[in-house]
Amino acid sequence: MKTLSRNLFGLVLTFFLFITGLTQAQTQLVDLRKENCGFNCTSNNFTVRSVFLSDANGNAITNTLAACNVNDPTPRTVYLSLDITSNSNSSIHGVWIFADIYVNGQLFKTINEGVTSPGESTRTVRPGAQIITLANSSFEWVCGQSLELSDILTVWQTSRQNIPQQPFTCNSFSKSQCQTNSGVTIDSPLAVQFDYTACTDDQGLTTANLLDKTVGGRKPYNYSWTFSNNATPQTSNLANPVISFTGSATATLSVSFVNSQGNTISSSFGPVTINPPAVIAINGNVTQPSPGINDGSITIAPTGGTGSLNITWADSPSFNGVTNRTGLAPGSYQVNVTDQSGCIRSQTFILTSPTPAIDIIKIGEYFDANGDGLQNAGDEIRYTFSVSNIGNAQLSNVFVVDLNPSVTVSGNPISLAVGETNSTTFTGTYIIKQSDIENGSFTNTARASGQAGSVTVTADDSHTQNFTKVPDLSILKVQIGGPDPVTAEGQILQYQITVENRGNINLTNVVLQDLFPGASTPVVLSVISGDNSDPGVLNVGETWVYNASYTTTQADIDAGVDLINLASVITTQVPGPTNSRAITEVSQNALISLVKSADPKVYSAAGEEITYSFEVTNTGNVTLTNVSVSDLLPGLGTISPASVTLNPGASQTFTATYTITLADMNTGKVDNTATASGTPPTGPAVTDSDSETITADQNPSISITKTAGQSTYSSAGEEITYSFEVTNTGNVTLTNVSVSDPLPGLGTISPASVTLNPGESQTFTATYTITLADMNAGKVDNTATASGTPPTGPAVTDSDSETITAEQNPSISITKTAGQSTYSSAGEEITYSFEVTNTGNVTLTNVSVSDPLPGLGTISPAPVTLNPGESQTFTATYTITLADMNAGKVDNTATASGTPPTGSAVTDSDSETITAEQNPSISITKTAGQSTYSSAGEEITYSFEVTNTGNVTLTNVSVSDPLPGLGTISPAPVTLNPGESQTFTATYTITLADMNAGKVDNTATASGTPPTGPAVTDSDSETITAEQNPSISITKTAGQSTYSS
């Protein structure tokens, strides 16, 4: 809302008080109006024509008060003044006034004051009109409240007397010397102002309510409104008209009234532009409630309108002011948005709850788990489930279960959008049971479930799988114990018969019969194990186990014919019979075995005697005759006994002796084979052989001692002679005895190779030349190996090491030079060269140059490696600075450093000095602010521009000028770098002598101190000329202007 105002001071004055600001300057006296003094006021000698606001001197301040704005609380100090006209031809003295001041109809203050002028003790009212100001009645006046004087009593004295300063009585004044007035309204400004509110609809039409806020003057007011051409209406005489328009409109208000004197006072305000406010927009967003849950929400974001927006909800005032409502049930919700102008916008939101629904399609596929081509227990039915959201609400926690608990369903719960179908998440598996096969089919139902809010929906679908019955079995009889083949009487043959149901249905009335070898009637066997589920029923996949045994007879062995055992099985579903047989071979086996041993098994000398034993056993199943042992070892003694007869399982030990020879020692072993032989009842003789080896205790050995011709070396190229003494320390001859040494660069070792008998020695030699790498390593440390080949076994070796040390002497040198010996200016570039030489006898790595000179560029190259005697030149550049010019020289030292193979780094330093060609110089240019002058007292400003024209810094730079009367030259002395300038200034006041001389001609001198040597100076002169204008005047006067005789 906007308040607009304009003020006009009228003849009728309403004004306002800052109530706490009223000051009383005099002690309150008795109010004669309340003392019943009996005033009849017959002598009304004067008339109070008006009361108005004024300054302390009685000057009306209506123009100032006309600027009053009711929105401006700034107080103004004002007085009450009276416009009085005397009705008497005589003066009236000692005027006193009583009155009541009312603010907005409420008594605010009582006036009880003598009317005096400043410095007077009494006031004289002479005939005619005059202004009297109540000096002690000032107060702070602000816009906002009306004021009225009432119950006015004015009294006076006819003779000149002082106004009483103490409490007075009714007799203080003549009862007839008075004037009464019932009341007077004080003039006030007319402040024309109005406010308006506006609302704009969606079509851009704005409706504005104009509200009159005019104050002051006197009511009733007369109104005259005018509006722009696009407004309807365009004029109005109402106090608060309503207009409508598109775009922006203007309004102007004129107000008039008739004051207490009957004069018409008017004022206007405007035109004021009324801009359309933004259309109120609610901008709502709705979240529908979930099925069965009051979780709907409405969020609004009101915009537009004027000022702050007020939000009310028709359904519940408790939510007034709320922009986000949650936990809502389905229904209708109306929101009203009102701005500060009273513009209102309403919108109704409808919340509805969706209807959820779900559907499922179940598909089953048979899976042959074991791949046997049969439908049997253990196979699987694999299910897929296609779940669809056929309702109009989002479904969450969607999952599938099967009403048959044996069906396993996998897949985590999902969410389904409206119309969405999922055929991949949920799968199921059912493992087929035997009862299903026996029944011929399996039917089950799946259920899909989903949740929308608190509502759960479900759907079912079923699937049926049919089965084909296939009866089948197998029988297998195997020998699980006893010999095969049979080799002797009394051997027990153990059999196991297994019957397996290989079909997909159970088998009943199972009967197993076994026909043993040589028998004419079979035996019925009883199941031993496997009948686990249903006794007497061979279940699918079940295997029954039966056991049987048979003992062989000598007749079976003598006959030599295979033993056949036949088993047969019959059932109700598979009548059969179904047969299986086990065949065991009968074997006649003549065998002999020989075990040969020696004592001792190791020998160490020729002539040692060895005893051999030969244990012979009949390992067959028939008697052996003429059992004997033969051995081809040369020198073996007679084997005894000569021959024997052995029954099956019987044994005989034969013996013979042998003496070790030198050849056996050299060979390292005695290795030979014996053979046992026996004759069975039928067929050829049977034999067996066995070998025995005894070994010699051989001990080959060798040793080596390596020595060098000297223990130290001091330079590359020095020759070292090595000696290698090799000795056969073993008990056998060593052939191909040689020495090897891996030292790189070692000369040929001689002789090449020799043969050494036990205890013999041979000295080998070789030479080696010292290398730079050996100098750097600090030692030569290596190992030689002697090798020899014994008669048997691998070569024998021995090693010995020898170390000789280097006498290392690392050293380095540096020579530093500059590309020039002098320099003459800052910025000049100097190139330094650093020649570094390895003056030692070992290699130096990380060879580099360091130079602490500040500002020196990078020294290149990067660190290098130098062999003895090698050199490397490093370079770096340096840019001369002003400090170097001032110092007069650049003096610094470079250091070369290198790291030897061992020990700390070696260094060397060299210095170089280059000198500066210093050339200090200074210049000055003196100028005057003007080239001429025309009168004494005229002020001239001199400027002195001083420049450092040399190549070094100048300090204490100053200007001197001997001109008498010249002011102080500023600034104080400064420092100037080469090329820098400083302007000094001073003023000079022209004298009469300068005017007479016709010119001012003088010279200034600049001075500066260089880093070394005397100060440098320069001078410059400046002449300014006088504009001389000689002239004279005369004034003549007389002692009198007239004469008479």
Q: What does the pLDDT look like over 612-625, one tens digit per residue?
A: 999 999 888 767 88
| Domain identity same for 487 and 532 | yes
SS3 956: strand
Give the residue, 1044 or 510, on which the prediction is more confident. 510
- pLDDT (mean) for 71-100: 72
pLDDT digits (tens, 9 = 90+) for 673-705: 999 999 887 779 999 999 999 998 878 889 999
Choose from 21-35, 556-570, 593-607, 924-938 the range with maximum mean pLDDT. 924-938
Q: Which of 88-92, 916-920, 945-949 has the highest mean pLDDT?
A: 945-949
Task: Specify the DSSP element, H or E, that contains 882.
Answer: helix 882-887
Residue 458 sits at φ, ψ, to 5 deg, of -135, 160
Counting residues of the chain whose pLDDT is more than 90, the rounded percentage is 50
How does strand 822-823 pair with strand 906-916?
A: parallel
Higher-pLDDT residue of 404 and 61 is: 404
Q: What is the pLDDT of residues 282-295, one digit of tens each?
A: 999 998 888 888 88
Q: What is the pLDDT of residue 84?
A: 77
Please indicate, yes or no, whether residues 170 and 30 belong to a single structural domain of this protein. Answer: yes
Q: Is residue 100 part of a domain?
A: yes
Q: What angle do CA 141, 147, 153 make, to 5 degrees?
A: 115
Is residue 786 a contact partner of residue 741, using CB atoms and an 8 Å limit? no
Rounded to whole angstroms, the Cα distance separating 407 from 114 reads 118
How does pLDDT run across 514-550, given as a tens digit for each residue? 988 878 889 999 999 999 988 999 988 899 999 999 9
Of 584, 609, 638, which residue constitutes the final position of a domain? 584
Indicate if the pLDDT at residue 49 is higher than 80. Answer: no
pLDDT at 836: 95
Q: Is 403 exposed, middle or buried (0-12, 13-18, 19+ CB in 10 A)?
A: exposed
Strand pairing partners for 1026?
933
Please indicate, yes or no, if residue 183 is contained in any of the structural domains: yes
Residues 40 and 163 grouped into a single domain? yes
DSSP tag of 338: E
Q: Do 169 and 29 sit in the same domain of this protein?
A: yes
Looking at the fold, whether 648 and 545 belong to one and the same domain comes out as no
Per-residue model confidence as pLDDT tens digits over 150-204: 777 877 766 555 555 556 677 777 777 777 766 666 656 677 888 889 999 989 8
Domain assignment present for 66: yes
At 70, the amino acid letter reads V
Question: How far apart (Å, rounded) are the C-alpha atoms in residues 719 and 713?
Answer: 9
* pLDDT score for 355: 87
Widest Cα–Cα separation across the chain? 221
What is the number of structural domains in the chain? 9
Portion of the chain with pLDDT greater than 70, in percent: 88
Contacts of 654 (CB under 8 A, 6+ apart): 613, 614, 615, 616, 629, 639, 640, 641
pLDDT 10s digits, 306-362? 989 999 999 989 999 899 999 898 889 999 999 998 899 999 999 888 889 999 999
Categorize the per-residue pLDDT at 247 as very low, low, confident or very high, splitting at 50, 70 and 90. very high
Where among 867, 890, 916 does a domain terminate? 916
Is 422 within the bounds of a domain?
A: yes
Q: Which residues pair with residue 324 across a beta bridge? A: 299
Domain edge (last residue) among 160, 187, 214: 187
Say whether both 391 and 505 belong to one domain.
Answer: no
CA separation for the pair 423, 428 (Å, rounded):
12
Query: SS3 for 470-489, per residue?
Result: CCCEEEEEEEEECCCCECCC
* Residue 649 in tokens: 């399982």
Of residues 257 and 726, more confidence is placed in 726
Cα 698 to chain centroid, rounded: 79
**Per-residue tokens: 516:** 């043993």
In 3D space, the residue among 369, 449, 437, 455 whose CA is nearest the CA of residue 402 turns out to be 449
Q: How far is CA 381 from the centre of its chain?
A: 52
Amino acid at 1009: T
Instruction: Kindly report the CATH number assigned to the domain that includes residue 620.
Output: 2.60.40.10
User: pLDDT at residue 589 above 50?
Assistant: yes
The CATH number given to whatever domain includes residue 27 is 2.70.50
pLDDT band with cut points at 50, 70 and 90 for residue 66 = very low
CA distance 161 to 121: 9
**What backbone torsions phi and psi does residue 123 show, to the nearest 5 degrees?**
-115, 130
pLDDT bin (cut points 50, 70, 90) of residue 7 is: very low
pLDDT, residue 130, reads: 77
**Alpha carbons within 13 A on the beta-carbon side of 218:** 17
Residue 966 lies in a domain: yes
Contact 349, 284 (CB under 8 A): yes
Q: CA 862 → CA 382, 842, 874, distances in Å?
A: 77, 20, 9
Query: β-pairing, 278-281 with 408-410?
Result: unpaired
- 3-state class (DSSP) for residue 319: helix
Q: Tell me: do 441 and 482 sit in the same domain.
A: no
For residues 28 and 173, membership in a common domain is answered with yes
Supply 857's token pair.
Answer: 């560029």
Supply the pLDDT for residue 73. Answer: 66
In a domain, 1043, yes or no: no
d(CA 510, CA 353): 69
The closest alpha carbon to 179, from 210, 156, 148, 207, belongs to: 156
Place of tokens 């570094």: 836
Q: Which residue, 317, 348, 313, is CA-closest to 332?
A: 348
Write out the H or E segment, with its range, that includes residue 513: strand 511-515
Query: What does the pLDDT look like over 17-48, one tens digit per residue?
Result: 333 333 333 444 667 777 777 777 766 676 76
pLDDT of residue 142: 62
Q: How confident is the model at residue 120 (pLDDT cuts 50, 70, 90)?
A: low
Asked whether residue 77 falls in the same domain as residue 116, the answer is yes
262 within a domain of the structure (yes/no):
yes
Q: Are 385 and 359 in contact (CB under 8 A)?
A: no
Name, in order, each residue with C-beta under 8 angstroms of 294's C-beta and a sequence gap of 6 or more: 327, 328, 329
Q: Domain span at residue 995?
A: 922-1026
Rounded to whole angstroms, the Cα distance separating 995 from 987 reads: 17
Assess whether pLDDT exceeds 50 at residue 369.
yes
Q: Which residues contact 558 (CB under 8 A, 6 or more apart)?
A: none
SS (HEC) of 670-736: EEEEEEEEEECCCCCCEEEEEEEEEEECCCCCEEEEEEECCCEECCCCCEEEEEEEEEECCCCCEEE
Residue bearing the bigger pLDDT, 852 or 437: 852
Residue 687 main-chain phi, psi, to 5 deg: -130, 165
C-alpha distances in angstroms, 955 versus 166, 329, 1016?
Answer: 87, 93, 11
Note whether 452 and 325 are same-domain residues: no
DSSP state, residue 347 = E
The answer to whether the CB of 266 falls within 8 A of the CB of 248 is: no
The answer to whether residue 4 sits within a structural domain is no
We report the CATH number of the domain holding residue 547 as 2.60.40.650
- Same domain for 169 and 314? no
Exposure string of 476-510, with b = 16+ CB inside 10 Å and e = fewer, is ebebeebbbebbeeebebebbbbbbbbbbbbbeeb
CA atoms within 13 A on the CB side of 167: 4
Quickly list DSSP for 170-209: GGGS-TTSEEEEEEEEPP-EEEEEEEEEEEE-TTSEEEEE
Are residues 683 and 765 located together in one domain of the fold? no
> How does residue 14 score in pLDDT terms, banded at 50, 70 and 90?
very low
**Is the pLDDT assigned to residue 660 strictly greater than 90?**
no
